[in-house]
Amino acid sequence: MKINRLKISLLSLSLLCAFSNVEAQRTTSLKINEVLVINETNYQDDYGVQHPWIEIYNSSAGTVNIAGCFLTTDLNQPRMYPIPKGDVLTKVKPHQHMLFWADGQPSRGTFHLSFTLDSIGSNFIALFDSDGKTLIDSVTVPAGQVADISYGLVHDGWDAKRLDEELRLNQSYEGGNKLWIPFTQVTPSSNNFILDKNDKVENFSKNDSIGIGMTLTAMSVVFFGLLALYLSFKVVGKIAISLSHRRVMKTSGVSIKEAKDMHEQSSGEVFAAIAMALYEDSQHPHDEESTVLTIKNTARDYSPWSSKIYMLRETPTKK
Amino acid sequence: MDFLSFIGDNLQIFLSYTGFANATSGHLIMILVGLVFIYLAIAKEFEPMLLIPIGFGILIGNIPFKDAGLQLGIYEEGSVLNILYQGVTQGWYPPLIFLGIGAMTDFSALISNPKLMLIGAAAQFGIFGAYMLSLVFGFDPAQAGAIGIIGGADGPTAIFLSSKLAPNLMGAIAVSAYSYMALVPVIQPPIMRLLTSKKERVIRMKPPRAVSQTEKIIFPIVGLLLTCFLVPSGLPLLGMLFFGNLIKESGVTRRLAETARGPLIDVITILLGITVGASTQATQFLTLNSLKIFGLGALSFVIATSAGVLFVKFFNVFLKRENKINPLIGNAGVSAVPDSARISQIVGLEYDSTNYLLMHAMGPNVAGVIGSAVAAGVLLGFLG
């Protein structure tokens, strides 16, 4: 029985581990982040040649393996370029980027796509999950792209919801209301928006230089949190007390009022006094004890630490 | 002759590597500080389990040596001390300490008299008082937040938050927090006496009611859900605290609880203490900022203690005569478990030798732990 329980526990634990691993590896956090359609004098690939490129960003806090996913320019052909499996370089670290060259030469390596981009018309680009059906992210790069100017997300990994939130909550946001913008200074494999300061800290420095705002807000949160706990446990306490009264009613067959009285009387001191009386009774104490207590100094000459038998070799004796 | 000069040269090179050749006045000052910590721990028994590892860590961290790429110092990547220090810099020692604290804390006093939680909240004024003062002293808001948390009187929380908000000040903040926690018996009693009248000091509180096991089991679950939904950034600390408490109270995971409150917390305390101590290398530690942090830390403890005591007095205005709270337990809101609660008991007994406040003081004391973790979560959310 015990072994079965252990098996069930271990099985649940391994299932949980497997599940959390799947969660950590979620490809849904991948975003198409920046695209350069016409690359004339810009970033070169590992063969020293300029090609259009597509940047993918991992917006999650865990490493994601992009292997097995598909990149395409046609919604009807989602499996246009399968990203090869077995390449250690396909793991995208948290909040990091990965660049794919749209040069139509997949034989050049994992990051060289089997298609190119249209330099005149618009380009639809999509990233599909490894099942070839689930669309992870897509973008349509408008026609008329200018050479060496990329088209990218205003902030790495943002979506429309995140932009709305920023526009709603941050009045000092200066990025405009567009999610995709052209970048005259392209940022392949690096952040589209360079963070050179902590906006939150800057905001507090500017608007709350002596800290009263922080103190009031934070103390309100602390008080509210502990107040909520207080109220919850006031209710829980009342329920527990009433349940205990009911138990007393049932076991002693008394009314609710009597049960309450009994409960109030049964304080810790009363229990302690009863316990003491029972203990004394069980020990049969006498007024005069027959034994005599004395104090006698004892010499502790011997200790295993100083014993010679543990340190010296015994003299062999003839038997 | 050549051989002799070879030996002489070698000896000279050897001497240049010794601590004697590389010692500076800063190293000697820090070694002295370490010795004072060890003295306080052994002779005065001020938080010996913290001050002995930290004090000895200070000695380890301030043995001067020549940087020869031997991977010795705590700040040298790959050194043994540096590897152990990762638990501090990456912030995973503090949650493990909180797991142990949860597994050894009995929240009964708090559950039986939940209004004591508000005292734990009030004492967090120490954090934000120090935050405001730090801003005045020229620290930026993130650094001020990290310094302010010293007022939470909670070493692991201070380390956790400073590792996120101001890693360069972490050594000074951690040492300051632990030092003042050890000095609670010196700092708090005068403030408690100053802010209370004789009549208030002898207030007798109702004995706490017996709490059922069901209530004790519900507490960590509801506590986690309420506090972490409100402040998710406090999750590492609060999650572990309440988890530790659940394995204690559930009654069916005795082995886990015993490990968490025994061997695990002991191991982490040793590693945390020794590495925090060793991180106070004179070259990194002896700066004007460290001195400012020590000053602000002392003030934060004073503010926190005063806020706790004054809040109880204020709270008493609204309470019925039989429900009045002895303001001497207000100091316990600064967390520093269980030392500040013990101070309430000692000071209380000075004025009424039959008035035992320890059980009552444990309520705000553990509420202070929750309060300071929530406050740390708020600061991390706003400034992280």
Please indicate if any CB of chain B lies within 8 Å of the CB of A208: yes
- Return the closest-CA partner of residue B231 out of A206, A223, A158: A223
Q: Which tokens is B64 given?
A: 């001067």
Is A237 in contact with B223 (Cβ distance < 8 A)?
A: no
Is A233 in contact with B215 (Cβ distance < 8 A)?
A: yes
Q: Alpha-carbon distance A99 to A15, whole Å?
A: 34
pLDDT score of A167: 85
Please indicate if any CB of chain A lies within 8 Å of the CB of B103: no
Return the sign of the alpha-carbon dihedral for residues A184, A185, A190, A193.
negative
pLDDT score of B143: 93
Report the residue of A200, A210, A233, A263 to disrupt the B interface, i.e. the one with the largest count of B CBs within 10 Å: A233
Q: Are strands A91-92 and A64-65 parallel, antiparallel or unpaired?
A: antiparallel
Q: Using alpha carbons, list the distances in angstroms from residue A28 to A130, A190, A211, B226, B304.
A: 11, 20, 40, 30, 46
Q: Alpha-carbon distance B44 to A256, whole Å?
A: 54
**A202 backbone dihedrals φ, ψ, rounded to 5°:** -60, -40
Give the distance, in angstroms, between the CA of residue A29 and the centroid of all CA atoms in the same chain: 14
Q: Which tokens is B356 given?
A: 């035992």
Is B371 in contact with A211 (Cβ distance < 8 A)?
A: no
Q: List the single residue in A with minimal CA-CA distance to B229.
A: A225
Average pLDDT of every residue of chain B: 90
Is B230 in contact with A230 (Cβ distance < 8 A)?
A: no
Please indicate if any CB of chain B lies within 8 Å of the CB of A256: no
Is A208 in contact with B141 (Cβ distance < 8 A)?
A: yes
Residue B111 has its nearest CB partner, among A200, A233, A268, at A233
Please indicate if any CB of chain B lies within 8 Å of the CB of A211: yes
Distance from CA of A108 to the nearest CA of B (A): 38
pLDDT score of B30: 92
Listing DSSP states for B184-212 in one string gives HHHHHHHHHHHHS-HHHHTPPPPPPPP--
Please indicate if any CB of chain B lies within 8 Å of the CB of A15: no
Please indicate if any CB of chain A lies within 8 Å of the CB of B217: no
User: Per-residue pLDDT tens for B139-190?
Assistant: 999 999 999 999 988 888 898 899 889 988 888 898 888 888 888 888 999 9
Residue A221 with chain B: CB contacts under 8 Å:
230-231, 374, 378
User: Per-residue pLDDT tens for B31-55?
Assistant: 999 999 999 999 988 888 888 999 9
pLDDT score of A6: 57
Is A268 in contact with B210 (Cβ distance < 8 A)?
A: yes
Q: Are strands A81-82 and A70-72 parallel, antiparallel or unpaired?
A: antiparallel
Is A211 in contact with B132 (Cβ distance < 8 A)?
A: yes
Report the residue of A195, A203, A214 to disrupt the B interface, i.e. the one with the largest count of B CBs within 10 Å: A214
Residue with tokens 């004024």: B125
- Are A21 and A62 in contact by the 8 Å Cβ rule? The answer is no
Angle at B118 between CA B189 and CA B216, to 5 degrees: 105
Instruction: Provide the phi-psi class of A48: left if phi over 0, else alpha when psi is between -120 and 50, else beta.
Output: left
Residue with tokens 């660049």: A99
Per-residue pLDDT tens, chain A, 319 aa: give them: 455 665 666 666 565 555 444 444 588 899 999 999 999 998 999 899 999 999 999 998 889 999 999 999 999 999 999 999 988 899 999 999 999 999 999 999 999 999 999 999 999 999 999 999 999 999 999 998 999 999 999 999 898 888 888 888 777 777 788 899 999 888 898 888 877 777 778 888 888 888 999 999 999 999 999 999 999 989 988 898 888 888 877 887 777 777 777 666 655 667 777 788 788 777 666 666 666 667 766 666 666 666 666 666 666 676 6
pLDDT score of B1: 61
Q: Which tokens is B166 given?
A: 């101001």
Is A200 in contact with B117 (Cβ distance < 8 A)?
A: no
Q: Which tokens is A184 given?
A: 């005259």
B218 pLDDT tier (thresholds 50, 70, 90): very high
Residue B131 with chain A: CB contacts under 8 Å:
211, 214-215
User: Per-residue pLDDT tens for A17-51?
Assistant: 554 444 445 888 999 999 999 999 989 998 999 99
Residue B230 has its nearest CB partner, among A214, A225, A234, at A225
The number of CA neighbours under 13 Å toward the Cβ of B367 is 38
- Return the closest-CA partner of residue B151 out of B376, B381, B328: B376
Listing DSSP states for B275-317 in one string gives HHHHT--HHHH-SHHHHHHHHHHHHHHHHHHHHHHHHHHHHHT
- Return the closest-CA partner of residue B124 out of B231, B242, B245: B231
pLDDT score of A309: 62
Residue B125 has its nearest CB partner, among A219, A221, A234, at A219
DSSP H or E segment with residue B342: helix B339-351
Those residues whose C-beta lies under 8 Å from the C-beta of residue B234, and which sit 6 or more positions away, are B227, B228, B373, B374, B376, B377, B378, B380
Distance from CA of B72 to the nearest CA of A (A): 31
| Partners of A36 in the β-ladder | A53
pLDDT score of B2: 83
Residue A226 has its nearest CB partner, among B141, B145, B367, at B367
Q: With a CB-CB cutoff of 8 Å, which residues 225-264 of chain B face chain A?
A: 226-227, 230-231
The secondary structure of chain A, three-state, reads CHHHHHHHHHHHHHHHHHHHHHHHCCHHHEEEEEEECCCCCCCECCCCCECCEEEEEECCCCCEECCCCEEECCCCCCCCEECCCCCHHHEECCCCEEEEECECCHHHCCCECCCECCCCCCEEEEEECCCCCCEEEEEEECCCCCCCCEEEECCCCCCHHHHHHHHHHCCCCCCCCCCEEEECCCCCCCCCCCCCCCHHHHHHHHHCCCCHHHHHHHHHHHHHHHHHHHHHHHHHHHHHHHHHHHHHHHHHCCCHHHHHHHHHHCCHHHHHHHHHHHHHHHHCCCCCCCCCCCCCCCCCCCCCCCCHHHCCCCCCCCC
Q: With a CB-CB cutoff of 8 Å, which residues 189-208 of chain B face chain A?
A: 207
B17 pLDDT tier (thresholds 50, 70, 90): confident
